[in-house]
Structure 1
């Protein structure tokens, strides 16, 4: 802190924390949403629509009909993803519905474009039924190069992702699982390098057992963490083989119990953290 700076009061900190939300209410209304569709191809005059639309467009259609892979060369499919949500687990807001989820899905689409140059379409579904979500994504998949699942409640998010990854012809990604897990495990790898400890020898404690935490546990194990070095704790205590109520109630948690047995630990958060490197 320099001599010219002063520590903010509690009231000033609270006001600073509230400002993005206040600005968001004004600016979302001003812009009427955060994204739009604009033409990519050149339109010199209305006559150019004979190329981009009828009759010229029939030629690339016939080419793709003969070889569907050409859709990646002749359409926007190669660089377009769908951001799909049912609005059941939005941020810390919970189940707020598909309409209320739209600002978040628009924001994710904006991030795709601004940070990665990837075009994105927000799609909020008016159903909470996992089978209907799976079927809908399957049906829209031909229009996209990838699917980003977003803010879908657990445990159904696991089955939706696993089922779509099994049979979709395009990549399917659940940001709350794989996105968070990728960042967390990458951070763990580099943190252990800094302190000179081998990844496979490190002991991990994961606080919470939601979609992100379970995905982190899965990726840690897939990356080389020894099962006996991984302890996960939910609101009821450490996930271990004594938690038999999870067998039918929460299959994904029980899988962690079977694989790790809570690193041999019993108890709650205090016991889970004991001896952990991360």
Structure 2
């Protein structure tokens, strides 16, 4: 089984701050989730993201880098001195990069009895106490939406079923779940509900399962802020030469919050401009500000 690696870089010493009011001076934690489609290839884009938006925590999916080659020093130079990552060569991989102290959650499952680096979880230390973050990269599922004909699709459905059951057995509190879940659950999470009903990522077998998973302790924070029927996308295919003009998007990236911290949500922003950056990912970052 692959190990999850944790790096905590030393930070510059500083004077102890004066006591803070528990309400007036609560910190608004800025969290970003992003499927980068290769961390090392797009490290300059992560640097740009950090400089323009100053996140406290970045959750990355599809890092595509084995642990010995993880660019921990370069990320520490950007201010992410606390790092949890689990990766493999060429495929998958997840990481939590933080300016705030992290503590690994060690009892998470070996999903579908595979070591394919699709989940990492941590407790993040905030001024109001620890908050749990789960970072997921759900299997894409291939092209044929039939589990009998397509092992990849069967794996995807099994993965979501296992995750749903696990969270039902371990009810989350003060928790955030983010990541590329590879499912667009609602009609207006895709450019054409009717045309995509038989396309992997929007089939009823997937969308019903994703909603069951979300209901196992979470609420869909993005749709809490931007209710249906407003269109909401985070992914545009590389096949679309002019992604803005065609706008054939899907909401594959998600931020879920437990009910006890949902009232702390200040804002969620889909950073669409990143789709126009040089050598972009087909996913864009999603940013949440949470008062903790």
Place the TM-score, normalised by the shorter chain, in its bin.
under 0.3
Task: Give the structure-2-normalised TM-score.
Answer: 0.26
- Which has the higher relative contact order, 1 or 2, with Cα contacts under 8 A spaced 6 or more apart? 2
Is the radius of gyration larger for structure 1 or structure 2? 1
Task: Give the structure-1-normalised TM-score.
Answer: 0.27
Higher helix fraction (1 or 2):
1
Higher strand fraction (1 or 2):
2
